[in-house]
Amino acid sequence: MDEVIDILDDNGNYTGKTCLKSEAHKYGRFHPTVHIWLYTSDKKILLQKRAATKKVFPGLWDISVAGHVAAGEKIETAAIREIKEEINFDITPDQLHKIGTRKHQVNHANGIIDNEFHHVYIAQLTVSVKELTVQKEEVDSLKLFELEILENTKDLENILLPRFHDYYCFVYNEISKLLN
């Protein structure tokens, strides 16, 4: 879906301008996104297998939930909306723990220029994976992995991306603090 999103400057500040998501990706305009990592009390991490039709990283086991922030939408509201849309899990603002904002710049072979500021959250998954329903346009399937997978991405195939290893380790450390 080609939604209207806010344009940010290269420091993550709102410019007061908006554009279509496709334009942001075509011209490399910075914009806000959300990443939500869902973990369980028994030290597992929920990963989604991205739909094969996705333009970026199709079929990759990736972040529990991620998405774009609509123009004028609050970051936290976007996180809650994306969780509901992608996996049909209801969460309240007090269950979300923001652990940081990450500047991300990647030029993809298909011409997409991803210049984004990821607002990164962690939250506990309090239902069985069997109770979740995926949004087929976005997600092929869901699976719980051992939390340690976030520390061991270097030799995995089609599960996360080794070049973002430091990011995954940061998420692992933040979740571990809550579980210990």
Ranges of each domain in the chain: 4-179
Q: Residue 149's pLDDT is what?
A: 94
Q: 4-179: what CATH class?
A: alpha beta
Beta strands in the chain (DSSP E): 4-8, 14-20, 31-39, 44-50, 61-62, 65-68, 97-107, 113-124, 139-146
Cβ–Cβ < 8 Å for 71, 5: yes
Express each pLDDT in 88-141 by its tens digit. 999 999 999 999 999 999 999 999 999 999 999 999 999 999 999 999 999 999
Local confidence band at 1 (pLDDT 50, 70, 90 cut-offs): low
Q: Is the dihedral of CA 92, 19, 32, 62 positive or negative?
A: positive
Express each pLDDT in 44-84 by its tens digit. 999 999 999 998 889 999 999 999 999 999 999 999 999 99
d(CA 37, CA 53): 22
Express each pLDDT in 134-177 by its tens digit. 999 999 999 999 999 999 887 777 889 888 999 999 999 999 99
User: Coil, strand or helix: which one is 33?
Assistant: strand
